[in-house]
C-alpha cells in the first residue's frame, strides 16, 4: 500500500490526499507535524533529504517528493492529464507557476498568520503584493473559461485550488474575484473537497 | 519556426536554448531585457500574463511559459526523459525542487549581486543559507552517482546545472563540493555548454 507522509494542514499535502481519494486508491497517511520538527528527524530525512512534506513512499520503500511531481506520477493515464501535448504542457506550466509564483506568497502568508500567529501587519508587504498579483492572474485567466487548461478539470486545477481556497486565511480577500470563487466551487465539487 | 523570448543572462532562459541546441532545432531568439521592463510591455504580457521569461511561442502563435514546462514539452520522446515511470517521477521531483528550493536562493543571490550590484553583505542571510543548503543537498545526492536520476543524463541535470554552474556569481563557493563540480563538468560536456 502507498504511504503518504504529510501534514494535514498543508495544502501541498492535501493535494495528494484529494487525488488519492478521487482515484479511490488505498493508502496509509502518516501525520508529520512540521511545526515540531517532524520533517527534520533522521528517519524522515532518510526518506527525503530535502526534509519536505508531502513525501510518498511506494510498497517497495522507494520515496517520491514534491507535491506536483507526486500528482503527475499518480494521475498518469487518468482524465486529469490532458492527452493533447499542448494542453499537457500548459498544465505543467500552471504546476510550475503554482510552486514559483503562487505558493511562496499565498501559502506563506497563510502559514505566517495561521501557524506562526503573525498579525495582518506583520506579514511582509511584498508577500501580500505578490500573492494578490497571483490571485489576480488566476481571476483573469478564469474570467472566460471553466477550467485552467482546455475544456476539462486537470491537475492544474487541483494543484492551484489547494491554497487558493484558503487564501483568506492568509489575509487575501476573494470578494473582488468572482470568477476565482466560482472556479473554487467547481473544483471542490469535482474532487469532493469541502 | 519556434520563437523563444528570453534574457540571455538568465539561467532559466539558457536551459531552453541549450535544449534546443542539443536537439538541433531551429528557433528564433528574441532578446528580452528584464532589467528595462522588457517582460512587462503590453506586447509581452499578451504572450504571458505572468510577465516571465522564458516564453516559447509555437509556429501557430500559441505560447508556453515556465522553463521546466518548456523543457518537458520539447524533450518529450528524447533520451532526456526516462522511460521508467519511477525515474521519470524523480526527474519531475528535481524539476519542482529546482524551482522551489534552489532557484529562489542560488539564482536570486546571483541576480542581486550581478544585476542589482549588491555587495556580499547586502544579500539576505536567509537567501545565502538556503542556497548553500540546496547546493549541499545536491553534493550529497551526487557523491555516489553520476547523474541526478537513474543512469543517464536527464532534464533534471540540465535544469539544475543552469544556476549551479554560476553559483559563484551569487557568492556561493563550490570548492567544498567536489562531487558537484565534477557533475557540472559532466553536464556541460553532455550539452556542449561552455
Q: What residues in chain A have per-residue pLDDT under 50?
A: none
* B127 contacts chain A (CB < 8 A): no
Task: Please tell me the distance from the alpha carbon of residue A11 to that of residue A193, in angstroms, as a whole number.
Answer: 12
Phi and psi at B27, nearest 5°, equal -160, 160
Residue B89 sits in the same domain as residue B180: yes
Q: Residue B34 sits in a domain of what CATH number?
A: 3.40.30.10
Q: Is the CB of B86 less than 8 angstroms away from the CB of A58? A: yes
- Neighboring chain A residues of B88 at a CB cutoff of 8 Å: 73
B18-61 pLDDT, tens digit per residue, is 999 999 999 999 999 999 999 999 999 999 999 999 999 999 99
Residue B100 sits in the same domain as residue B185: yes
Q: Is the CB of B50 less than 8 angstroms away from the CB of A101? A: yes
Choose from A2, A78, A94, A99 for mutation: most chain B CBs within 10 A.
A99
Task: Please tell me the distance from the alpha carbon of residue B38 to that of residue B107, in angstroms, as a whole number.
Answer: 19
Of the residues A46, A75, A104, the one at which a domain ends? A75
Question: Does the pLDDT of residue B73 top 90, yes or no?
Answer: yes
pLDDT band at B194 (very low <50, low <70, confident <90, very high): confident
* A163 contacts chain B (CB < 8 A): no
B89-122 pLDDT, tens digit per residue, is 999 999 999 999 999 999 999 999 999 999 999 9
Respond yes or no on whether the N-terminal peptide bond of residue A134 is cis (omega within 30° of 0).
Answer: no
Annotate A127-152 with DSSP letters as a single string.
HHHHHHHHHHHHHHHHTT-SSSSTTS
Q: Residue B90 sits in a domain of what CATH number?
A: 1.20.1050.10
- In this structure, chain B runs to a length of 194
To the nearest 10°, the Cα dihedral for A93, A99, A101, A105? 160
Tell me if A95 sits within 8 A of A68, measured CB to CB. yes
Annotate B27-89 with DSSP letters as a single string.
EEEEE--GGGTTTSSHHHHHH-TT--S-EEE-TTS-EEESHHHHHHHHHTTSTTS-SSHHHHH
Helix (H) or strand (E) holding A56: strand A55-57
- For A39, the domain range is 2-75
Task: Please tell me the distance from the alpha carbon of residue B24 to that of residue B84, in angstroms, as a whole number.
Answer: 25
The model carries a pTM of 0.98
Whole-number pLDDT of residue A194 = 84
Residue A131 sits in the same domain as residue A173: yes
Residue A71 sits in the same domain as residue A104: no
Strand order in the sheet with B2-6: B27-31, B2-6, B55-57, B63-65
Residue of B nearest to A58 (CA): B86
Whole-number pLDDT of residue A93 = 98
Question: Does the pLDDT of residue B140 top 90, yes or no?
Answer: yes
Residue of A nearest to B103 (CA): A100
Report DSSP state, residue A18: H
Residue A152 sits in the same domain as residue A121: yes
Question: Over pLDDT 70: what percentage of chain B?
Answer: 100
Amino acid at each position: 500500500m502507498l504511504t503518504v507522509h504529510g501534514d494535514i494542514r498543508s495544502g501541498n499535502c492535501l493535494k495528494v490526499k484529494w487525488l488519492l481519494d478521487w482515484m479511490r486508491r488505498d493508502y496509509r497517511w502518516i501525520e508529520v507535524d512540521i511545526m515540531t520538527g517532524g520533517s527534520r528527524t533522521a528517519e524522515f530525512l532518510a526518506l527525503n533529504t530535502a526534509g519536505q512534506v508531502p513525501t510518498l513512499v511506494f510498497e517497495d520503500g522507494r520515496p517520491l517528493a514534491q507535491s506536483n511531481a507526486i500528482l503527475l506520477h499518480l494521475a498518469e493515464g487518468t482524465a486529469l492529464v490532458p492527452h493533447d501535448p499542448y494542453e499537457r504542457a500548459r498544465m505543467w506550466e500552471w504546476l510550475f507557476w503554482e510552486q514559483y509564483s503562487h505558493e511562496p506568497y499565498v501559502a506563506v502568508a497563510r502559514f505566517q498568520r495561521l501557524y506562526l500567529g503573525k498579525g495582518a501587519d506583520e506579514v511582509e508587504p511584498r508577500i501580500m503584493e505578490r500573492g494578490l498579483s497571483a490571485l489576480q492572474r488566476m481571476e483573469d485567466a478564469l474570467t472566460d473559461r471553466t477550467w485552467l487548461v482546455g475544456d476539462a478539470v486537470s491537475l492544474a486545477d487541483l494543484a492551484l485550488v489547494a491554497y487558493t481556497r484558503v487564501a483568506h486565511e492568509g489575509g487575501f480577500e476573494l470578494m473582488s474575484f468572482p470568477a476565482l470563487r466560482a472556479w473554487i466551487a467547481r473544483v471542490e465539487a469535482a474532487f469532493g473537497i469541502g
